[in-house]
Structure 1
Amino acid sequence: MAITGKPLAATAGAATFQKGGNAVDAACAMLAATCTMWDVLSWGGETQALIYNPKTKKVIAINAMGVAPAGATPEFFKGKGYNFPPEYGPLAATTPGTPGGLLHMLANYGTLSLEQVLGPAIEMAAGYPIDAQTANSIERGKEQIKQWPYSKKVFLTHPGEKREAPEAGEIFVQKDLLQTLTKLVEAEKTAIKQGKSRKDAIMAAYDRFYKGDIAREIVRGSQEQGGLFTMEDLAKWKPLEETPLSVDYKGIEVYKMQQWTQGPVLLQALNILENFDLKPMGYNSAKYIHTVYQAMNLAFADRDFYYGDSYAPPAEPMEGLLSKQYAKQRASVIQYDKNDPNIGPGDPYPFEGKKNPYLDLLKARGYEMDTSQRNFAPTHDLRNGSSMVDYQDRLWRGTTTVEAADEEGWVVSITPSGGWIPACIAGNTGVGMSQRMQSFVLDASLNPYNVVEPGKRPRVTLTPSLALKGGKPFVSFAVQGGDTQDQNLLQFFLNMVEFGMTVQQATEAANFNSNQLWLSLGGTKTEDRQPKPGQLLLNESTPEKVRDELKKLGYTLTFYDRTSGPINAIYFDWEHGSLWGGSSNHGEDYGIGW
């Protein structure tokens, strides 16, 4: 089973299976293809993956998140008038993570050569018929793209004309990226000729990207445009294998990435919701929506203050945050008769037997919530047009996902992102740089664990998911959509577990979204990011009775026909020995099973 954000990329995964590859090979091929198609990510972005290894019966996590480059300090950005690092351009870029993550996964857990896995992406770089979503995104972003000479060269294929971006269906050629990908394969071939092993040959390609001529051009191109990358930044960075975090929800083990992502939010929310009997409330009843909304707000309040890079001090209190006792305490504060606009971070430290070092900071900050108007969803592509048009665009685009599974039992769930259009391309490499620096904070009062510093990872929204039942894979799932990702994934999971939906029904089911959280993306001023308490996005199909009940609870309601990013998932039917793929009808995401 191969599922991802674009039909052509899903075909690349299916074709990789036909070559005899396993799920890791197929996932890497899909990742490479989506990067090449600019499916709201580029080769200079970031990758985070969960992999179930059937040989060890364990879930492992791949951390391929880039880091802040040299010179990226709070003082640097504040000196330029920012409250957060910028959304776009060379100063928004963390070091590239996706190439390293792909090469590490392929070398250690795949079976095919890099040449075989990159084959579809190389063909696409040589020219493929560009889809309307990407072409129109380029056109919308052309004024920003014109600021960056290498982006202008690649994206604006009709300079000076009324429409400067490619037309939908036009053969889109990326000569520089083709050369970069070809260099990676050349490095592998040279190493093979020298008698190197398959793994060492793939890592020779890794060295060429992060330490060789590709790295030199990335650094040169970034610095020319005002970026901060150095050769040392790229050479020192490496992907990491981690033990994922997990909780047990009614006998199902749910796995997420560590706290440098927002993934533990879903785990915290499940722990809180275990204290309620959800099924009798009814799917998307007012009582159910209210209960889940409050649980999500509690979890997100903790995310916004306590999550950060697990490799940089201070150490995050994850043991306390994920304890069942802490969740029970948090559940006890939920008010049943109204929305609580003053939900703030809890204190997990006593549940680790420790004292909270930031109590004074929490008290000084208070829980005041801004009530000014701002756009509901995370901004990937905010320019002209109404907020709902922009929201629709982000729902249909957003971060992409990759899901793959094979007959051996390998399962892969990836949520890659970064380098979305309008992207700043690093020199003559064709590699669009990440925009993930904006997820750092510059002020410790917002989150003392996520203050920017060189070599540190930002706390990101990207959040693949895997669940096991009885020690076997149960469901692999992920979604695009910034801060809404774990909101949508939580509801998808409950749709299956509590309400008995099939995997496809659960991907398409109407969700609701909270905006009572600090945005991780969009805007360089504090007021751009502040929470909007009580604002609730509902599906247009929500009955009047439910709407009225929610208004009485103090919610401000917004409606739309699609209230989730495209969810992709694979369900493992052990009774019948088959795989069930799910891909929602909310975007271009596509799955192929055989």
Structure 2
Amino acid sequence: MKKLLIASLFVSSFTFAQQTQKPPLHGKNWMAITGKPLAATAGSMIFQKGGNAVDASCAMLAATCTMWDVLSWGGETQALIYNPKTKKVIAINAMGVAPTGATPEFFKSKGMNFPPQYGPLAATTPGTPGGICFMLAEYGTMSLKEVLAPAMDLAAGYPIEAQTANSIERGKDQIKQWQYSKQVFLTHAGEKREAPEAGEIFVQKDLLNTLTKMVEAEQNALKTGKSRKEAIYAAYDRFYKGDIADEFVRGAQEQGGLITKADLANWKPIEEEPLQTNYKGIDVYKLKQWTQGPVLLQALNILENFDLKNMGYNSAKYIHTVYQAMNLSFADRDFYYGDSYVAPEEPMKGLLSKSYAKQRAAQIRMDRNDANAGPGDPYPFEGKTNPYIGLLKSRGYDVKDTSNKRGFAPTHDQRQLASITDAEYKDALWMGTTSVEAADKEGWVVSITPSGGWLPACIAGRTGVGMSQRMQSFVLDSTINPFNVVAPGKRPRVTLTPSMALKEGKPWLSFAVQGGDTQDQNLLQFFLNMVEFGMTVQEASEAANINTNQLWLSLGGNKTADRAPRSGNLLLHSNTPEWVRKELRNMGYTLSFEDRTSGPINAIWFDWKHGSFWGGSSNHGEDYGIGW
């Protein structure tokens, strides 16, 4: 009887009776959700002053950077914005680039197989200050002074929360390597606990000075008759071309970094056309292939060929099918994705082709895990010949074999033991970032996944700005990915991936999550939870997910073995029934279990029937939302 009762949770006609750990948010005027309660409050303050969703999202982003919510001001910003005036989704690329001197030869000369995880040599140029200025100038309504006011109050001193304070304490040995970082973070240097205590007023004078300089530049421009937009770009110029840039570069180079003044001056954010696919009448939008975002689109295209609902939520068959679709998509990500502004050109038309997805779906064996899942050949689906056939064959992949009967092991997966522990591997898999979601009654919708400069962070001189660590997402070996080899002025292929969905031409869902390589795994399942199984946005954000480790890590160790895929390695929620576990083991999976199987998902669902917003924010982090 007990087994029958538990089994009812896995049938396709899922009835969600249990109360969620967090209540859903409701609002009709606006909604603000992000990684910290105080930062969500910053968004609400801007809304209450008459700002739109872009204004509020910029304020939340500035606040989360100031609070070191696994990112800082020197990191990077990626955004999707729905513009109600044009009724289109636009993409904002505020990802920094590799600096002068960042070549494969440079890092290999230091004995590295990948750029480093931490320190000044891990840093791309800062993207977030420029991203905030660009979004605010082009689509906001308020001044930079108004939008940065909450962040400046935080920099002047705020009661630091335990999560950040304890992160500082855990990373203090690394922080001590960098003179400017230890002066900011180790407020009790020499004592047993050198980091701030939870609730202690944490002051960042140098960062406050940097933000003050940006606001001064804006206000001085306004006094000379410049427009709101021109004044915001004056602040932008002071950061990237003025005295802030001088100090940032000096501090970075003093500590061994490569970033030059020209690197900052030549960088700029870019507005792009997002990529998209349609899944059962819903248009899903993601950023381009300089992120991992198209993975979700590819996986949806593959899964469209299966009857997921009738498999049942998190049944063994459902888990197996989703896992296989993700592996095929990630194999393509790991080989074909890279900076779309630098040659060679990625075959995105083929990768997002429904016909290609149908071919990939046919490769899935329903009786066991495919430990050999590798990149496919999307080139014929855009009328071209694959120039990398020889490279793929040298790695043990036969892309001409589209059957599901392959029985070879690719050369990268000989089950070598990685040099990092399981705990370190999981940390690398989940590492970094936060998310920002905002919407207003005028129709503006914003989804942001910012990151970079997380603790332990290396601060650049007296700017108070922690430098990015995103260089580690490049490869040095073109046989791993010929599109993502490090080069000066190039963007790394990042994990960061905001999401948006429209239905019948109107916003339907805006969603994002933190968690490194797991981001699009969790967002895929969150989306399917709502579309296939009828969950509410809060239920879907809390629901148990699965994670695959059968992919190349984008973040982590400097050795190839640290990053290599772990075939058949499947993370399940600890409440997974024994009969599901048994069936999956019989399919060749190696199982592990956690109470947490997803990063903190934040989302807004648009209830057009009632003219209101539903907000969801999972129970896995300090993420928080406010609506009105």
Alignment of 1:403-482 (within 5 A): 403-482=437-516
Q: Is the 8 A contact 1:398 1:565 kept in 2?
A: no
2:615 equivalent to 1:584: no
2:605 equivalent to 1:571: yes
Deviation at 1:394, TM superposition (A): 8.1
Matched residue of 1:119: which SS? helix
Q: Is the 8 A contact 2:428 2:516 kept in 1?
A: no
Matched residue of 2:168: which SS? helix
Runs of 5+ in structure 2 lacking a partner? 1-30, 397-409
Matched residue of 1:201: which SS? helix
- Identity over aligned pairs, percent: 79
CA distance in 1, matches of 2:72, 2:205: 15
CA distance in 2, matches of 1:388, 1:507: 24
CA distance in 1, matches of 2:559, 2:299: 29
CA distance in 1, matches of 2:245, 2:282: 43
- Matched letter for residue 47 of structure 1: T
Corresponding residue number in structure 2 for 1:378? none
2:587 equivalent to 1:553: yes
2:126 equivalent to 1:96: yes
Runs of 5+ in structure 1 lacking a partner? 376-381
Q: Is the 8 A contact 1:180 1:429 kept in 2?
A: yes
Seen in structure 2, the aligned counterparts of structure 1 residues 236 and 392 have a Cα distance that, compared at 3 Å, is closer
Alignment of 1:139-178 (within 5 A): 139-178=169-208
Q: Is the 8 A contact 2:429 2:517 kept in 1?
A: no
Corresponding residue number in structure 1 for 2:385? 355
CA distance in 2, matches of 1:89, 1:276: 45
CA distance in 1, matches of 2:584, 2:525: 18
Corresponding residue number in structure 2 for 1:365? 395
CA distance in 2, matches of 1:338, 1:241: 43
CA distance in 1, matches of 2:612, 2:156: 37
- Matched letter for residue 260 of structure 1: W
- Matched letter for residue 587 of structure 2: L
- Detail structure 1 runs of 4+ shifted over 3 Å in the superposition: 372-375, 386-395
- Which of 491, 496, 503 matches 2:530? 496
- Which of 527, 535, 539 matches 1:505? 539
Matched residue of 1:550: which SS? helix
Corresponding residue number in structure 2 for 1:379? none
Deviation at 1:520, TM superposition (A): 0.1
Matched residue of 1:91: which SS? helix
May I ask how many residue pairs the two structures share in their alignment? 584
CA distance in 1, matches of 2:138, 2:414: 47
Corresponding residue number in structure 2 for 1:15? 45
CA distance in 1, matches of 2:416, 2:178: 33
Deviation at 1:398, TM superposition (A): 3.2
Q: Is the 8 A contact 1:221 1:428 kept in 2?
A: yes
Alignment of 1:300-449 (within 5 A): 300-366=330-396, 367-368=410-411, 369-374=413-418, 387-388=422-423, 391=426, 398-449=432-483
Corresponding residue number in structure 2 for 1:485? 519
CA distance in 1, matches of 2:429, 2:561: 21
Corresponding residue number in structure 2 for 1:78? 108
- Which of 58, 65, 71 matches 2:88? 58
CA distance in 2, matches of 1:398, 1:305: 23
CA distance in 1, matches of 2:426, 2:303: 28
Q: Is the 8 A contact 2:34 2:623 kept in 1?
A: yes
- Matched letter for residue 124 of structure 2: T
Alignment of 1:274-293 (within 5 A): 274-293=304-323
Q: Which moved more, 1:141-150 or 1:364-373?
A: 364-373
- Matched letter for residue 457 of structure 1: R
Deviation at 1:365, TM superposition (A): 1.6
Corresponding residue number in structure 2 for 1:518? 552
Q: Is the 8 A contact 1:23 1:410 kept in 2?
A: yes
- Matched letter for residue 350 of structure 2: G
Q: Which moved more, 1:363-372 or 1:493-502?
A: 363-372
Deviation at 1:399, TM superposition (A): 1.1
Matched residue of 2:593: which SS? strand
TM-score where L is the length of structure 1: 0.97
Deviation at 1:371, TM superposition (A): 2.1
1:24-71 per-residue CA deviation (whole Å, 9 max, x = no partner) reads 000000000000000000000000000000000000000000000000
2:40 equivalent to 1:6: no
CA distance in 2, matches of 1:61, 1:447: 24
- Matched letter for residue 168 of structure 1: A
CA distance in 2, matches of 1:50, 1:309: 18
Q: Is the 8 A contact 2:425 2:556 kept in 1?
A: no
Deviation at 1:372, TM superposition (A): 3.6
CA distance in 2, matches of 1:293, 1:455: 35
Q: Is the 8 A contact 2:429 2:553 kept in 1?
A: no
Alignment of 1:76-225 (within 5 A): 76-225=106-255
Matched residue of 2:276: which SS? strand
Corresponding residue number in structure 1 for 2:405? none
CA distance in 2, matches of 1:260, 1:473: 24
- Matched letter for residue 371 of structure 1: R
1:332-377 per-residue CA deviation (whole Å, 9 max, x = no partner) reads 00011110000110000000000011111111122231424459xx
Matched residue of 2:597: which SS? coil
CA distance in 1, matches of 2:418, 2:286: 30
Deviation at 1:393, TM superposition (A): 11
Corresponding residue number in structure 2 for 1:528? 562
CA distance in 2, matches of 1:194, 1:565: 47
TM-score where L is the length of structure 2: 0.92
Q: CA RMSD in A?
A: 1.2
CA distance in 1, matches of 2:458, 2:562: 23
CA distance in 2, matches of 1:370, 1:468: 43
Corresponding residue number in structure 1 for 2:264? 234
CA distance in 2, matches of 1:439, 1:529: 11
CA distance in 1, matches of 2:447, 2:194: 36
Q: Is the 8 A contact 1:370 1:530 kept in 2?
A: no
CA distance in 1, matches of 2:309, 2:62: 41
CA distance in 1, matches of 2:192, 2:96: 37
Matched residue of 1:579: which SS? strand
- Matched letter for residue 87 of structure 1: Q
Deviation at 1:96, TM superposition (A): 0.2
2:299 equivalent to 1:255: no
Q: Is the 8 A contact 1:372 1:532 kept in 2?
A: no
Corresponding residue number in structure 1 for 2:17? none
Q: Is the 8 A contact 1:46 1:64 kept in 2?
A: yes
Matched residue of 2:71: which SS? coil
Seen in structure 2, the aligned counterparts of structure 1 residues 576 and 373 have a Cα distance that, compared at 3 Å, is farther
- Which of 280, 288, 302 matches 1:272? 302
CA distance in 2, matches of 1:390, 1:13: 34
2:274 equivalent to 1:244: yes
